[in-house]
Chains A and B, each alone.
Chain A
């Protein structure tokens, strides 16, 4: 079954151009100049029910604009879309009962009230029966481990606690399709991991289709089975994440801080690892996962040199996309 389908979906904006300075502002006032910006260019996309799709791209690539069109809150300039059988911008209300949305940078929880109040409100808005709501709430509170926060005003919660409540709230009405726009932004590694597990679990147990945008390669790697990369409003790549992992997500970064007087030359010579950046006593070591493993490199380095601090990171998604972009010829990019 198809969860969502788009054909040549496009969105253009008119943006006012302004020259710098006061004179420029006056000129823009008298004779405004407009520039047309193509935020989304003829996107063709089909997502099957139950899929977990990562929708990726650098800032300004058109990810959020696409999500806003698919949830019906923005009208496209051209093209078609059907989400769960509805044309989103024409049947927004009917669609709203069947989808869930989490905008990582916007909160749906009432700031001065405990999350349980927003949960109650959502149950009324989505017309859940009292019995169904209470059972569902109990289940989500248990799974998301948010019991201790349910009666604390939202303003007193940490970002991680709040995000768990946000995602649980968005699942209260059992959405068949969940749109997550940067759900792990600003969270620490442990909370990110937990949130990914919880989303994956919902996908597994309830068959919820997940459509996610993220800047975090970890979200893609651990949560999604398919990655769609857009750049300059068009689709650059649409492939299984497994393939992407083999081809592109095959590097990790180790950040090392060495103690005063340590010899950085000792970092050289580890198979598949190279120092790519130095900042004072901090060194960035890039590891090629096709040739070696993180554990092997760390074991080798710890055996050789005293280390003050160490952290392991995924490469930033921007870097991966730049890499993909370089790999493909411009004519291959959908325009």
Chain B
């Protein structure tokens, strides 16, 4: 038992060390941050204009249960989360192609845990920055994000959201162990996130049959749950959403582990 506890403690320390160094490396990418932030400002500005026109045309303050303020902040949260996730598929694909994976695999630390630690650290850091940038647009146009407990929901659900997001991307990324080229699959995954994941439009505003389909897919757990809960914490069942995230984490976790276990046997580490 002591041995197991010791191993877990060591694994947590290693995860923390990878998260810390990833964060330090992030601080070196200043130009990347500026460009991303400018792009985020631009798209949020376009969304604010679009939704303002839609609400004006509708002549109603509430559409599908969302006020204009809620919908704009919903988009800030989904965009901030989407753009926070590092390009895991491209990274693993590159590691396999140029053989850098050799350096990772010869370390006494799980390859998946390494990438998870690095992913979460980078994504959380970017998420906070993007929230700041998004606020610069949303706040002046639709007012302060006075969502009370919604912020707590956002904080709690974002960890689960990024975990499910990591696992979804990892399933696709690990296909690089067989095919080396996974950008196409990554593209499909991204677009599913944009649509049935509720990035551009809250799932509540979709046709009922599509809402039923979305309820059985993992994508809602990534963007819809945290953003929806943030803007309307009273109407959300936090425990149920956490339960769904946990279930998807367990299911996808098993899948990712199995794909990795099989893939690493097949892997051809390139390069001399």
Q: Which residues of A contact B (CB under 8 A)?
A: 13, 59, 63-64, 68, 71-75, 89, 92-94, 96-97, 99, 101, 103, 105-108, 110-113, 117-118, 120-121, 124-127, 153, 181-182
Contacts and interface: CB of A to CB of B under 8 A. Distances in A.
Contact of B28 (A71, A92, A99, A113): A113
B8 to A, nearest CB: 13
B109 to A, nearest CB: 5
Most chain A CB neighbours (cut-off 10 Å) among B10, B13, B21: B21
A111 B25 CA distance: 8
Given A105-B272, A124-B14, A110 B21 contact: yes
30 contacts: A59-B272, A64-B271, A64-B272, A72-B105, A72-B106, A73-B106, A74-B267, A92-B105, A92-B106, A93-B108, A94-B108, A96-B108, A99-B106, A101-B103, A103-B99, A105-B271, A106-B98, A106-B99, A106-B102, A108-B103, A110-B21, A110-B25, A113-B24, A117-B24, A120-B17, A121-B17, A125-B14, A125-B108, A126-B108, A127-B13
A181 B106 contact: no
Contact of A125 (B24, B105, B109): B109
A186 to B, nearest CB: 12
B212 interface: no
B91 interface: no
Interface of B: 10, 13-14, 16-18, 21, 24-25, 28-29, 98-103, 105-109, 265, 267-269, 271-272
Given A75-B265, A182-B272, A113 B106 contact: no
A52 B99 CA distance: 26
A106 B265 contact: no
B268 A13 contact: yes
User: Can you list the 3 inter-chain pairs with the closest CB atoms, starting with the nearest?
Assistant: A112-B28, A124-B17, A96-B108
B14 to A, nearest CB: 6
A245 B33 CA distance: 57
A103 B106 CA distance: 11
Contacts of B265: 75, 89
Contacts of B106: 71-73, 92, 96, 99, 101
A68 B272 contact: no
B271 to A, nearest CB: 6
A133 to B, nearest CB: 12
A181 B101 CA distance: 15
A150 B153 CA distance: 43
Contacts of B271: 64, 103, 105-106
Contact of A74 (B14, B103, B268): B268
A96 B105 CA distance: 9
Given A106-B271, A113-B25, A73 B17 contact: no
A309 to B, nearest CB: 32
Given A74-B268, A105-B271, A182-B272, A68 B102 contact: yes
Contacts of B28: 112-113, 153
A41 B108 CA distance: 29
A93 B111 CA distance: 10
Contacts of A120: 17, 21
Contacts of A99: 106
Contacts of B16: 124
Given A118-B21, A120-B17, A127-B108, 17 more contacts: A64-B272, A68-B102, A73-B106, A74-B267, A75-B265, A92-B106, A93-B108, A96-B107, A101-B106, A106-B99, A107-B103, A113-B24, A117-B21, A124-B14, A124-B17, A125-B108, A127-B13
B37 to A, nearest CB: 19
B102 A73 contact: yes
A74 B269 contact: yes
Nearest to B114: A125
Contacts of B21: 110, 113, 117-118, 120-121
Nearest to B105: A73
Contacts of A97: 108
A279 to B, nearest CB: 29
Contact of B269 (A68, A111, A124, A182): A68
Contacts of A118: 21
Nearest to B265: A75
A78 B269 CA distance: 17
B120 to A, nearest CB: 16
Nearest to A73: B105
A103 B102 contact: yes
Given A59-B272, A74-B267, A112-B28, A127 B10 contact: yes
Contacts of A117: 21, 24
A113 B99 CA distance: 21
A92 B105 CA distance: 8
A63 B107 CA distance: 21
